[in-house]
Amino acid sequence: MKNFISEDDIEQAILTKLRKPSFDYDIIQCDADPAKRDDLHDGTGRTSKSQCVLPEVMEQAIFRLNPNIDAENLNKVIRELCQDYSSKDIVTANYELYRKIRNGIKVNIKRNGKTDFDFVKLVDFRQPENNIFTAVSQMWIRGKVYYRRPDVLIFINGMPMVFIELKNSIVKVKEAYNDNLTNYKKDIPNLFAFNQICVLSNGLETRLGAFCATYEYFFEWLKVDSEKEKVDRDALRKVFQAADSSIRYFIEGLLDKRHLIDYIENFILFQNGAHKIIAKNHQYLGVNNLVEALKNRQSLQGKLGVFWHTQGSGKSFSMVMFVRKVRKTIEGNFTFLVVTDRDDLDKQIVKNFVRTEVIGKNEECQPKTGKQLREYLTGNKPIIFTMIHKFKYDKGKKYPVLSERNDIIVIVDEAHRTQYKNLAENMHTGLPNANYVAFTGTPLLGSKRLTNQWFGNYVSEYNFAQSVEDGSTVPLFYSKPVPEVCLQNDFLDDDLVSIIEEENLNEEEQRLLENSSSRILEVIKRDDRLDKIAAHIAYHFPRRGFLGKGMVVSVDKYTAVVMYEKVQHYWAEEKKKLTQERNKAATKERREELTRIIDYMNKTEMAVVISEEAGEEEKFKAKNLDIQKHRDKMNYISPEGEDIEDRFKRPDSNLQLVFVCAMWLTGFDVPSMSTLYLDKPMKAHTLMQAIARANRTFPGKQFGMIVDYVNVFKFMRKALRDYAVGDDGDEFPVKNMDELLKYLDAAIAEAKEFLLGLDVDIDNILKESAVLDQLEALREAYNIIVDKDEHKEKFNVIVNTLINLYESAKPEIFKYDWPHTEEYSALCYLHGLFHNLIDDEKINRARMKMAALLDNSVLATKPIQGVQEDFAIYKTKVIDLSKIDAEELKAEFKQAQYRAVEIDDMKAFIEKALRQMLKRNCTRRKFSERYRNIIDQYNAGSADNERYYEELVNLLKAMQEEDSRASREGLMDEELEIFDLLTADKKLTQAEEQKVKLSAKRLFEKLREKKQDIFVVDWYKDAQSRYRVKSNIEEILDEDLPDSYDKNLFAMKTDLLMAHFTDMAVQRYGWVVV
C-alpha cells in the first residue's frame, strides 16, 4: 500500500524530531517486549511499575526550581504528587493537580523564626529552558489488573503532561480513542491525573483533545505559527513518510518547549472544576496575536484590533483565555472593561468568567447604574462587566473623563450598531487612553471595514467557512419548504429590516415601523400564513432524523406567543393523524416508526422566551394574548436550581422547542440545537448570529438546518459574502438542500465503488427481476464482505456515513424524487445483516443449526428497529454460556453453506459474552487478549476458515469453564471478583487460598450490609466518604488475610480494591452504587 505508515514509523518520527537541538528533549525508549514489563531497569527510574511519574527527574527538577527548599518539604511535595489518585474522581484529581502545576504547592516554612508559608514551584512558566522535558516511548504501566503501554508520553519535570496514542495509517484515528484511550483511563487512571493534552494519530490524521472529552470534541492542529498558513488536507492524506505526516504540525506547533509551556499555563480551563476545556488551534494563535497587540499598544494607539472568530468556535472562551493570560504573564495593574449591548449577553459572559474561576462568584463587578459604572471606573477594579447603555449621560452635558489610565482594556463583545452612536463616543471620552478590542463573530459593518476607526485592523480572523472545514462547527443547510408563505425579494428593504431586527423598540422606532412597514407586518403576521407555518413545524420537527433542539424566530414578541399557541394546536392535530395512521399501518416496522414519532411528540415540551418589559401584561391583553403563563415558565427555577436556560441547554431535557424574537440569538450556545425556523426579516451580522445557533458540534449531529419562511435568501447571500468566507474565500458554507443530495449521491457512489472492488455489483443485483434472486445475490455479497474484518469495517464506515446523511436529511428528502432509493435500500439491507437487524430467510436458515445450539443460551430482549420494512426483525441476545455445546458447533460448521457468515456470527456472539464476563469480573481480560490474537492471526493469513472457527470455539470452551468457576469455588460472582483481585500475581498454598476466599466472602458480605451507610450517593467524590469505605476494607481484610500478605502487599491490595470500587461507582454499575 503506497501510503501505509506504521505506528512504529510515526513513533520514531516523533522521537527523532524531539532529539534535535531545536527541541532538545531527553529521550527514553523502553522495551516493548511483554516479557520485560516487570523489569524496573527501563531507564525511567521508577521504583514501581504502577508509578506514572519519573520520580528521579521530578526530584531533580523541583530542587532546581526551588533551590532553597528543605528536605522535609521536598519529600512532602514528592509524596503528594506521587500519591494514588485512582480512588478519586479522575477529572477532579486532574483539576486539583492542574491548579498545583500552574500555581505551585503550598508548604509551611520558617521565616525569621516564625512559621510562614510559601509555594513550591513545579514548572517554570517564565523560562521554559529551566524545566526538564522528557519523551518516553513504550513505558509499561501496571494498572489495576493488567499492564498498559502508551506509545509516547511527554513528561515535564517528571509529570506526564501529554499522552500520544498511535495507529497505522489504514486504521481510523477514532480506534485509538475507542480501543486505547478509553481502556487506559479505566486501567491506569493515575496517568490521566497529570494529563493536559491527549493526541491520537494515524499519521494521515492527528487529533487533540482533553482526556475526558468525547471523540467529537477532538480537533486538528495544522497551523504552526500563523493562522494565515494554508492547509492542504488532501495532500496530507496521501503522504507516505511519517516525517511528512500530520503529526509534524502538532510537534512543531505545540511540542516546542516555549509553546507547550504557554499552552499548559494559559490555554486550559475548567468550568466549575468539572468540565475541562483546552484551546483549539485557532484559539491559541488568535489569543496570542491579541496578547502581542497589547504589548504593542502604544504603537497601535490603543486600537488592539478586531478579534473575528465565527459563532460556535469558542470565542467566549478565547476572551477568558486572553484576560487570564494577560493577568498572569504581563506586568501591570490592568483593568478589563467588558462591554455588551444586551442584558442576556452580559449575564452569559459573567457566568463564563465565574465558572472558569477568573473572577469570584460574589465579586462585585457588574455596576447596576451608569453612576455606579463611573464610580467603578474611577477606582481600580480588575474586571468590570457592563452594557453600553450605562454610558448614557444627561442630555446636553459633556461626558466626564473618568480615567486617563493607559492600562484599561475595553473588550467590546458582538459590537452592534450602538457602538457607533453617542454611547460609544461617551465611552471613548470617559476613557481616552484605554485600549480597545472588538470580539465578534461577524466583522462589524461588513466589507467596508469601518471598524478601523474604532478598533483597528483584524488581530485574528477565523471565519465561518474555516470553522466548518476544521470541524469546529457543523455545516448548515438551507431550506424553503413552504414557498407560498415566503415574501418576495423586493418586498424587504434594508432600513425596515434593521428596525424589525430589534426586540425592544423606542417610541420613535415603533412609530416608524408602524407607519412605514404596515404592509410588510400585515403580510408577515397574517393569520392564515402563520397557520401554514405552524402546521409545517408540527409536521417537520418530530420527523427529523437527528432530533436536536429547535428554535422558532418570529418578527416580534406578540407573534412569538401566537406561534407557540398555533404550533400547540397543530401539534395535537398531527398526533391525532399519526395515531390514526398507526392503527391502519400494514407492517410492524411502520407501526414502530409511527410510535417512535408519537412518543417523541408526547414528551416534547415547548416554551416562549422573550425579554420582560414594563406593563407587558396589559399590552399582551390588548392583543388577546396571555403573557403571564409564559412569564411564569420563563422565571421558574426548579428544585435543582435549573432555570429555563439551563433546561434548554441540557440535551436530555424534554424542553425541545423554544419561540423567540431576539433573545438567545446571540451569545447563547446549545450544542444539541440543530434546527432554526426563521420567520423574521434579518440581515448582516444579526442574520449570521441567528443562523449560527444551529452550527455547534454535538455527538450524532451531522449538520444544522435553517428552515426559512420569510425568504431572507438575498440577505443571507450578502451576509455570507461579508462575514462567512473572509478575504480569500469564495465558497459559501451555508448550502441549499440540493447540495445535501449531492453528498448523498457521492456516498452512494463510494459504497458501490468499494463493493465493486470485492466483485460485488449492486447495479447488477438490482437488475434481477425476481425479488428472491436479488435477496440471494445480497446474501452472497454479505458472505464476501464479512470474510475479512477490514472489508467489514470499511463497509460499515461507508454505509454508516450514508445512513447518517440520509437520516439527517429527513423529512426534506421525501419531497425529492431521489434516483438512488433502490441502491440505498440494498445497502441498508446488507448493513442490517451485519447488525442482526434483518431476519433474512436463507441467511437465517444458514444460521439455524448454530442458532439451535445457541438459542438455549439467549434471552430475547427489546426488538431493534429495522431499516427495511419488507423483512422481520432479528432480536438482540443475552448470553448464558453454560448452555453451549462447543463440540457440536464444530461439527455443524463443516456442513455450513455461508461459512464467513457463521464465523461472523460466532465472533459477535463471543464479543457479547466477553463484555458480559468482563462486567462481572474485571480480571478476565486475558480472554479478550486471546480473542484479539486469534483475530489478528486470521487477518494476517495464518489460518484458514475451518482452523479459525475451531480456535474461536476453543476460546468459547475456555470462557465456558471460566463462567462456571464461581460455583466450583463456592463463591458468588461478586466474591470471585474480589478473590481474583486479592490473588492476582500472588502464589498461595491451599490453606492460604481458603483464607483468602473467606476474606473475599466476608468483605462482600460486610460491605453489602453497610451499603446504605458507606456507599452513599456519589461517595467517591467526597474525601470523608472515600476514607470510610477504605477503612472498612482495611479492617475486614486485616482480620482474615494470611500472614504472607505483608504490609506493602496489603496496602497494594486495599488500594487495588478501592480503585475498582471507585471505578464501579463512577460508571454507575454494580453493588457499590446506591
Question: Is residue 335 scored above 90 in pLDDT?
Answer: yes
Average confidence (pLDDT) over 1039-1051: 90
pLDDT at 295 over 90: yes
Tell me the range of 110-124, 249-263, 344-358, 998-1012 where mean pLDDT is highest.
249-263
Residue (of 266, 292, 294) closest to 407 by Cα position: 294
480-485's contacts with Cβ under 8 Å and 24+ in sequence apart are 480/708, 480/709, 480/711, 480/713, 481/536, 481/540, 481/707, 481/812, 481/815, 482/532, 482/533, 482/536, 482/709, 484/532, 485/529, 485/532, 485/533, 485/709, 485/710
Q: How many domains does the chain have?
A: 5
Q: For residue 676, what is the domain's CATH number?
A: 3.40.50.300
> Which residues partner with 159 through β-bridges?
156
CB–CB of 85/71 below 8 Å? Answer: no
The residue from 397, 431, 462 where one domain ends is: 462
**Across 592-601, 896-905, 911-920, least confident range:** 896-905
Select from 2, 472, 558 the least CA-distant residue to 239.
Answer: 2
Sequence-ordered list of residues with C-beta below 8 angstroms from that of 59, at least 6 positions apart, any chain? 74, 78, 158
27 & 175 share domain: yes
| 253 CB-near residues (< 8 Å, 6+ apart) | 221, 223, 224, 225, 259, 281
* Same domain, residue pair 792 and 844: yes
The residue range of the domain holding 814 is: 741-966
Q: Are residues 427 and 565 in the same domain?
A: no
Residue 621, domain member (yes or no): no
pLDDT tops 50 at residue 857: no
User: Is residue 787, in this structure, part of any structural domain at all?
Assistant: yes
Q: What is the mean pLDDT of residues 827-831?
A: 85
Q: For residue 743, report the phi and psi dihedrals to the nearest 5 degrees.
A: -60, -40
Residue at which a domain ends, from 915, 934, 966 = 966
**Lowest mean pLDDT, pick from 132-136, 285-289, 1013-1017:** 1013-1017
C-alpha distances (whole Å) from 908 to each of 844, 879, 952 are: 15, 11, 11
Specify if 620 maps to a domain: no
pLDDT, average across residues 136-158: 91
Answer yes or no: do 185 and 321 share one domain.
Answer: no
- Which segment, 45-59, 829-843, 1041-1055, is predicted with the most confidence on average? 45-59
Contact 1027, 1072 (CB under 8 A): no
> E strands of 782-868, at which residues?
838-839, 858-860
In the predicted model, what is the mean pLDDT of residues 442-450? 54
Grid coordinates representing 475 are 455545516
Which cell goes with 559?
407573534
Residue located via cell numbers 513545579: 122
Specify the amino acid at residue 219. Answer: F
Burial 510-541 (b: 16+ CB within 10 A, else e): eeebeeebeebbeebbeeebbebbbbbbbbbb
CA distance 480 to 708: 5
Q: What is the average per-residue pLDDT within 253-258? A: 96
Q: Which element (helix H / strand E) includes 900?
A: helix 899-920
Residues in the chain: 1074
**Residue 877 confidence (pLDDT) above 50:** no
**Average pLDDT, stretch 306-326?**
91
630 is a domain residue: no
Q: Are residues 431 and 550 in the same domain?
A: no
pLDDT in tens, 54-85: 999 999 999 999 999 999 999 999 999 999 88
Cell of 290: 491579541
Grade residue 722 by pLDDT with cuts at 50, 70 and 90.
low
| 168 and 303 share one domain | no
Among 363-377, 430-444, 821-835, 949-963, name the most confident range: 363-377
Domain membership of residue 616 (yes or no) is no
d(CA 654, CA 645): 13
Q: What is the pLDDT of residues 462-490, one digit of tens each?
A: 877 788 777 778 888 888 877 666 665 45
User: For residues 695 and 441, is the Cβ–Cβ distance under 8 A?
Assistant: no
Pairing of strands 275-278, 303-309: unpaired
Q: What separation in angstroms does the CA of 580 have from each of 574, 594, 595?
A: 10, 10, 11
Question: Residue 131 and residue 61: Cα distance in Å, rounded?
Answer: 7
**Cell numbers at 737, concatenated:** 438542500
User: Can you point out the beta strands (E) in 480-582?
Assistant: 549-553
- Among the residue ranges 143-152, 234-243, 473-482, 966-975, the one predicted with the least confidence is 234-243
Residues 6+ apart with CB under 8 A from 572: none
% of the chain exceeding 90 in pLDDT: 40
Statement to judge: residues 217 and 341 lie in one domain: no
Contact criterion met (CB below 8 Å) for 716 and 691: yes
583-612 per-position pLDDT tens digit: 998 888 789 889 999 999 999 999 999 988
> What is the spatial distance between Cα 655 and Cα 481, in angstroms, rounded to a whole number?
24
Last residue of a domain, one of 946, 966, 986: 966
Note whether 529 and 432 are same-domain residues.
Answer: no
Q: Does 243 share its domain with 322? A: no
CB 101 within 8 A of CB 242: no
Give the three cell numbers for residue 274.
468539572
Q: What share of the chain is helix, strand, coil (3-state, %, to 5)?
A: 55, 15, 35
- 232 and 330 share one domain: no
Question: Can you tell me which residue has the cell 466583522?
Answer: 443
* Strand segments (E) across 670-728: 673-678, 704-708
Contact 245, 233 (CB under 8 A): no
pLDDT at 494: 56
Helix 588-603 × helix 557-584 angle, to 10°: 150
Residue 47 lies in a domain: yes
pLDDT tier at 276, thresholds 50, 70, 90: very high
Q: Is residue 628 part of a domain?
A: no
Q: Does the pLDDT at position 410 exceed 90?
A: yes
Domain assignment present for residue 468? The answer is no
Q: Are 1 and 167 in contact (CB under 8 A)?
A: no
SS3 of residue 416 by DSSP: coil
Is 137's pLDDT higher than 50?
yes
CA nearest neighbour of 958 among 917, 1019, 902: 917
Residues 147 and 189 placed together within one structural domain of the fold = yes
Q: Do 286 and 431 fall within a single domain?
A: yes
pLDDT for 172? 84
